Chain A
Amino acid sequence: MNEVLLLNAAIGGIVFGAVYALIGCSLNVLAGVLRVINFAHGEFIIAGSFFAYVLFTAFALNPLYALPLCAVVFYFAGRVLYYLLVPRLAKSDEPETSSFLLMFGVSLMMVSVMTWIFEADIRPFNFSFEPINVTFFTIQDAYGEGRHGRILVPTARLVALGINAIIIMGLTWFFYRTLPGKALRAATMDREAVQIVGINIHKLSSIAFGLATALAGVTGVLLAVVVPSIDPNGGPDIVLIGFIVIVLGGLGHPVGALVAGILFGFVEQFSNVMLQQAAAQMVGFIILVAVILVRPSGLFGKAVTK
């Protein structure tokens, strides 16, 4: 084990952790406000990646400009999707489990549409920044006498991290300083009470769904920049990371998802360096199962056992 690998893992941990935090945030908006556990979130995100991909290949549009466009388009798509899917769910006996199944159906449909359009192969996303890498610092003698180990970080990852940080700060401001944001947090705490004070719950819920979908799309664009290849079948892997993050942080808890996302990013990157590949892939799930069994409410939430 040497310092270069560990430092790279630490930097990767921050970059990927921030992406996971964003995934967790948008999943949590749905889980908290709507009580919808979005199995199709991975496909929403990949749709965002393809959105940037199409604009880049067809119009050579820089993904950084695709970002706000994607947010707007996905926001309105999400609001429409809400009225199609969610209001009927409220009548069911166990809305969360029903939503899980419903969104699984949506996920199957989205995967087959995306593989139909883009085929099942992984698409390379040939966008790069100038310069490609940023040299962070040099460690003397990292590989023995007289040789230098350098910490190289792709510019794309740094840019993505910067944008991600801005989005997360913006979200925090939105949730804690604006009226709609406060209404969303209030709806997470008590849906009935929010209606008593005169808030139109359907409108608020559709805004929440739009917001979560827009965030998913933006995450997709960022993910395409960080990992420049798009796999139409990669949704389940992404959404499972999302589940790990929101369960770890506490279902529906916005701050919890941020902390848990970054924590999980570090755990994942370090176990990639320190463990065998197959074992490293299991770490996340083992954490998930362990957290649920030991502390089902997550790091920040309240009790949920039956």
Chain B
Amino acid sequence: MSNLALLDETKAARIRDALWCTLVAALVVWFAAIPALDGNLSLYFSLMLWITMATGLNIIAGFTGYMPFGYVAFYGLGTYTTAILVVNLNVSPYVAIPAAGVVGILTAILFAPTLRLGGIYFAIVSLSLSIILQRLVGLAPDEWTGGSHGLYLGQKTDRIEGYFTMVLVMVAALLTVTWLARSRLGKALKAIRDDAEAADAMGVNVNLSRLYAWMLSGLFGALCGGVQAWFTGALDPITAFDILVTAKTVIYAMAGGLGTVTGPVVGTVILVWVDELIWRQFPILNNFLLGLIIALLILFMPRGIIGTLMQRYPRIRRFIM
């Protein structure tokens, strides 16, 4: 270990970047090869979906310090935007999914006033807004949203193209957080998280910085929803705005470690596998075990796997993104 300690900062940063890039590249190659290898498409699709969701949530929760307990709102609006455009207006998914992303960003701007709320109030309002949106979708005319039965994409569903689009969206999300972690904006966000007043005094534009973070989070949540609609081809208001979507996103991100770039990826990969194992073995107890994992994580490992490693072995901090 003493050799590691002697490495100078630029060298450490180079090793850190190389490690992270290797991890991302390995993931992308692995995921992209799955259809050719006849792998379990649904499993790997959901792995990518959750990596992207957890990474998107990490931008606002980890980097900026807000816990959006209604994060599913972006996801749900994304699925509905895509499905409505594709089913009702016959738009290509390649246009509909970016449109879902735009809706995500616009929703984030619409909900921006909630960012002035602290801690638990933000969580409760965010949760309420997601429920309001779910009910609004239920109230919308049935010929648009399909009412409580939801919408079916039918022949426009495309699992292969949807799968590769998910690879693209995941790569975009990972590149975005990589950039964010080294950028001025990312440092501003962490300063706001730790002490908003001090950050303001140092000349950080607090409102604008956290709005950017919120918009990025919203964008990736909505994109995930959009691709999910294309991949599975069916959606309804209950599952599209299910609070369990938020819960899983939060848990996967926390398990790895909020505020680190690697954390949400590691947490998702481990927990989705565990979830898959649990789901197969004990379908009845699935939610019980999910709840248990949540409780144990909060009580015994609130910083997550990566966060705890960094805390226990400060020397490796320089090598983890």
Contact = CB atoms under 8 A, between A and B. Distances in A.
Interface of A: 37, 85, 88-89, 91-94, 96-98, 100-102, 104-113, 116, 236, 240, 243, 247, 251, 278-279, 281-282, 285-286, 288-289, 292-293, 296, 304-306
B188 to A, nearest CB: 15
Contacts of B114: 292-293
A108 B117 contact: no
Interface in B118-138: 118-121, 123-125, 127-129, 131-132, 135-136, 138
Given A85-B295, A85-B299, 5 more contacts: A105-B294, A112-B284, A243-B124, A293-B125, A304-B117
B294 A108 contact: yes
A88 B295 contact: no
B132 A289 contact: yes
B34 to A, nearest CB: 30
Given A240-B131, A304-B121, A112 B298 contact: no
Contacts of A107: 291
A288 B247 CA distance: 21
Given A286-B132, A292-B117, A112 B67 contact: no
24 contacts: A37-B120, A37-B124, A94-B119, A96-B119, A97-B123, A101-B67, A102-B298, A105-B294, A108-B288, A108-B294, A109-B287, A109-B295, A111-B287, A112-B285, A112-B291, A113-B288, A240-B131, A285-B131, A289-B128, A293-B125, A296-B117, A296-B121, A306-B119, A306-B196
A110 B290 CA distance: 12
Given A100-B67, A240-B128, A108 B291 contact: yes
Given A281-B135, A306-B196, A102 B117 contact: no
Contacts of A112: 284-288, 291
A100 B120 contact: yes
Contacts of B69: 100
B310 to A, nearest CB: 15
Given A108-B288, A286-B132, A289-B128, A305 B299 contact: no
Nearest to B294: A105
A236 B119 contact: no
B125 A289 contact: yes
Q: Among A105, A107, A292, which residue has the most Cβ atoms of chain B within 10 A?
A: A105
A110 to B, nearest CB: 8
Contacts of A105: 290-295, 298
Contact of A292 (B65, B121, B254, B292): B121
B116 interface: yes
Contacts of A279: 139
B118 A304 contact: yes
Nearest to B243: A236
B117 A305 contact: yes
Contacts of A251: 120
Given A102-B299, A289-B125, A289-B129, A278 B292 contact: no
Interface in B238-287: 243, 247, 250, 254, 284-287
B135 A282 contact: yes
A290 to B, nearest CB: 10
B125 A292 contact: yes
A305 B295 contact: no
A109 B288 contact: yes
Contacts of B295: 85, 102, 105-106, 109
Contacts of A305: 116-118
B284 A98 contact: no
Nearest to A286: B132
Nearest to B126: A289
B113 interface: yes
Nearest to A236: B243
B50 to A, nearest CB: 17
Nearest to B197: A306
Contacts of B284: 112, 116
A97 B119 contact: yes
Interface string B15-51: 0000000000000000000000000000000000000
A110 B124 CA distance: 21
Contacts of B294: 101-102, 104-105, 108
Q: Among B119, B254, B292, which residue has the most Cβ atoms of chain A within 10 A?
A: B119
Contacts of B196: 306
A102 B247 CA distance: 11
B233 interface: no
A205 to B, nearest CB: 16
B78 to A, nearest CB: 21
Contacts of A102: 294-295, 298-299
A278 to B, nearest CB: 5
Q: Among B118, B128, B247, which residue has the most Cβ atoms of chain A within 10 A?
A: B128
